[in-house]
Every structure is written in structure tokens, then in C-alpha cells.
Amino acid sequence: MEKMDKPLTKNMMPDRAFATLADYESTGGYQGLHKAITQLQPKEVQQWVKDAGLRGRGGAGFNTGIKWSLVPLENAPPYDKTQTRYIVINADEMEPGSFKDRFLLEHDPHQLIEGIIIAAYAIQARTAYIFLRGEYHVAAARLTQALLEARAKGYLGEPILNSDFKLDIHLHTSAGRYICGEETALLNALEGKRATPRAKPPFAVVSGLWGRPTVVNNVETLCNVPHILHYGVEWYQSLGRGADKGTKLFGASGRVKHPGLWELPMGTPIREIIEDHAGRMQDGYQLRGFLPGGASTDFLLPEHLDVLMDFDAVAKVGSRMGTGTIIVLDDKTCPVQMVLNLEEFFAQESCGWCTPCRDGLPWTVTLLKDIINGQGRMEDLDTLTGLTRMLGPGNTFCALAPGAMEPLQSALKYFREDFERYIVGSKAVVEQT
């Protein structure tokens, strides 16, 4: 059996729009599901994924197998089939700079469907929901077709592969808000309620969708699962180059020569992503900094290019790997205006549920606009620094505002002279007049 070094993208061919069921099965598709259902108990599937070291690809990086094991489930079969449990897939990809899940959904939808079925079997869930970003029309159409193909082949419905396990997958296209990336806000939206986060505990694995045990996983996370079951734990562990295991879709956007996505081993150096795969900076531009994992991560500098792209390595230098999609800052783009653009997005997407986020983000935007428009004061920089603390972790209901503060706090740290230049320049104009 050939073991792939790029399992997530092996079915993506330049001569076809996406992989059909026949295409997917021709390269070993649904073999992981066969193994899970015919050879392993649910707890054993959980252990495989845990031992493989698969960490959530949505940004938090929690061990997926451990997350599944937190769902209340008897230790030995037969499992209680009257207990309602749910699998929910977060496909509401709205992090600025991130487009990896869209790529997977559009080009290989059966990979996600197989991952969902295996995950549902592992926690004995009988219903799954794909919560899809409303603007992803192509993904919705291809997922719909793939779901029909899977049901016709017996991979969905009852029974699955002549077992006593059954599963229905429902596609839900959302109205779309960034806050739905927070799993409990997503669950509220799925229930038809206002998309606001819930207090925790209880956590979703105990009381989630309609009060039932629920696992929420990211698209890319579940796309890894079939390959772990098909090729094995040791194979998956061998793919990583750093502390983390497996491969990941890394991306780069901004003024690089070849913006895009590439499946690479976890632990690939940032320099390799930007210079070898993205083709370095465009002619006439120099790298000044970058957000390593989407808009809600801290800036890093060229001196950090040799940092490995894994969760712990990026955290050690003061940022987060997040979604692994790098946003490049060049030397001709103003970091203050770049941060303002991001803060305007976060302020607009705040659900308004808690005061620090509801009032603090618009205040941040106002201060940044004043600075750029020549009405800023040096004291405003201290106020902005204070806001990064007041809106930081532990002071808000969810992680939206703390994430919004990451590019701001790091810009104040690394590019403070750009902020000061606006203020000093406006004062000089006033003095001359």
C-alpha cells in the first residue's frame, strides 16, 4: 500500500474541478471508514487519533482524540443508542487571510465526509451538521453532490457498511458572521438563535447542540482523520518535521510572487513557505513583517523566518500559528493602516454581547483613525496599549476581542515609530501654520 506524503491534496488534479466518489475511492477513499467500522470499537478510533497527535486545525490546536474522549460514552459496547450526540463541522471560514477550508471543500468534498463519518462513529453520534459559510456557493454545490453520492453508495444512512451504525449529515449554509467561528456561538446560530457565545462550563462536549453532547471540529481537522485510519498512527507521526505531527495546508497572501496554499509537513520553517513556495517578495518590495496565522495573530519580523510552523514554536516567539495562513506586510504598506483595516473588521463583527468588545473595539478604531488623520496625540498610544490589556484574554466573554488585539499590540511593539510619525508629522504641520 502506497503511503502518501501529501494526503490532504492527493486527489486534487489540474485537469478536473473536484474529486467525485469514483475519483476518491480510486486512491483509497473510504478505506479508513471500512477499517474503523469493521475492525475497531469507537474508543479505539479515539485512541488512534489521539496517539497520532492530530491537533485541531482551526487555530486552537487541541488534541482531537482527547476532545472526542471527553464526550460521555460508556467504556464498553453495546453503547446506548438512545443517547443523542452530535458532530458539528465548523466550515464558516471568515478569518481574514484564511482560505484553506474552502480549498478542501471545493476540491475534495468526500475527504471531509469520510472524516465526519469516522468522527461520528468514534463518539456514536447519529446526526452531523456542516455549518458552511453562506458565501461558499461552489463548496455548497459540490458538498451537496458528494453527500448524494455517499448516500447512494451506502456510506450514509442506515446501515453503514452492513453495521448497526447509521448517520445523517445535513448541510447548513449560514447567514455569516465572524463570531460563528467561536464554537458555542456557532451552536446558537445552528439552533436558530442569536449568534452569541455561551458561558463555559458546561462545555459543548457535555452540553452542546440542543443541550446534547456535541463535538465541533474544523474542516481541515476532519480531513486528516481518514488517512490516520487508513495508513496508521506511525505513518502520520512520521510526516511532521517539528513537535507536531502530520501535514497542514499552509498559505501566504500579500505582496509575494505566488500567493496560494501548499500542503507541507507540520514544522516547516516559515522561511521555506515564504521564499520557496510563495516565491519571495514581489520585485521592488521588501519583507517587513507578517501575521503567521491569519488576522488575529501577532506580527512577527524577518528575524523570525526560521521559526518552525507548529503550535508551540510560534507561541514561543510571541504569536500563534492559528490557521497557518500567513499575511505578509511589505515595506511600502503602512502597518498602522493595515491594523486599522483589521480592527474595523473586528469591530464590525463583534456580537456586542460583552462591554469590553462592544465598546472597546470601536474606541480602538476611532483612536487609530484620529492618528492617521493627523488628530492623534502621544497619549493615544498609551490608551491603545491599555486597550490591548483591557480587551485581552480573561476580560471578555469569548476570544474575538483578544484576537483582535494581537495584531495591534504587536504593531505597537514592533512598528511604534510608524504610529509616532503620524502624530509628530501632524504637530509639525500645526506649528508651521
- The domain spanning residue 340 has which CATH number? 1.20.1440.230
Same domain, 232 and 253: no
In this predicted model, what pLDDT tens digit does every residue of 38-75 receive, in sequence order?
Answer: 999 999 999 999 999 999 998 888 999 999 999 998 75
User: For residue 382, is it within any domain?
Assistant: yes
Could you give the number of structural domains in the chain?
A: 3
Same domain, 228 and 269: no
Name the domain boundary from 212, 238, 264.
Answer: 238
User: For residue 162, is it within any domain?
Assistant: yes
Same domain, 322 and 339: no
| Domain span holding position 400 | 335-432
Same domain, 46 and 182: yes
Same domain, 414 and 391: yes
Q: What is the 3-state secondary structure (H, E, C) of the chain?
A: CCCCCCHHHCCCCCCCCCCCHHHHHHCCCCHHHHHHHHHCCHHHHHHHHHHHCCECCCCCCCEHHHHHHCCCCCCCCCCCCCCCCEEEEEECCCCCCCCHHHHHHHHCHHHHHHHHHHHHHHHCCCEEEEEECCCCHHHHHHHHHHHHHHHHHCCCECCCCCCCCCEEEEEEECCCCHHHHCHHHHHHHHCCCCCCCCCCCCCCCCCCHHHCCEEEEEHHHHHHHHHHHHHCHHHHHHCCCCCCCCEEEEEEECCECCCEEEEEECCCEHHHHHHHHCCCECCCCCEEEEEECECCCCCECHHHCCCECCHHHHHHCCCCCCCCEEEEEECCCCHHHHHHHHHHHHHHHCCCCCHHHHHHHHHHHHHHHHHHCCCCCHHHHHHHHHHHHHCCCCCCCCCHHHHHHHHHHHHHHHCHHHHHHHHHHHHHHHHHC
User: For residue 233, is it within any domain?
Assistant: yes
What's the CATH code of the domain at 312? 3.10.20.600
Same domain, 107 and 217: yes
User: For residue 2, is it within any domain?
Assistant: no
In this predicted model, what pLDDT tens digit does every residue of 159-184 receive, in sequence order?
Answer: 899 899 999 999 999 887 899 989 99
Name the domain boundary from 189, 204, 238.
Answer: 238
In this predicted model, what pLDDT tens digit does every residue of 180-221 receive, in sequence order?
Answer: 989 999 999 999 999 999 999 999 999 999 999 999 999 999
User: For residue 109, is it within any domain?
Assistant: yes
Same domain, 37 and 180: yes
Name the domain boundary from 238, 256, 272.
Answer: 238
Confidence of residue 4 (pLDDT cuts 50, 70, 90): confident
Same domain, 317 and 276: yes
Same domain, 110 and 168: yes
pLDDT of residue 1: 45
Same domain, 31 and 170: yes
User: For residue 70, is it within any domain?
Assistant: yes
In this predicted model, what pLDDT tens digit does every residue of 334-357 receive, in sequence order?
Answer: 999 999 999 999 999 999 999 999
User: For residue 1, is it within any domain?
Assistant: no
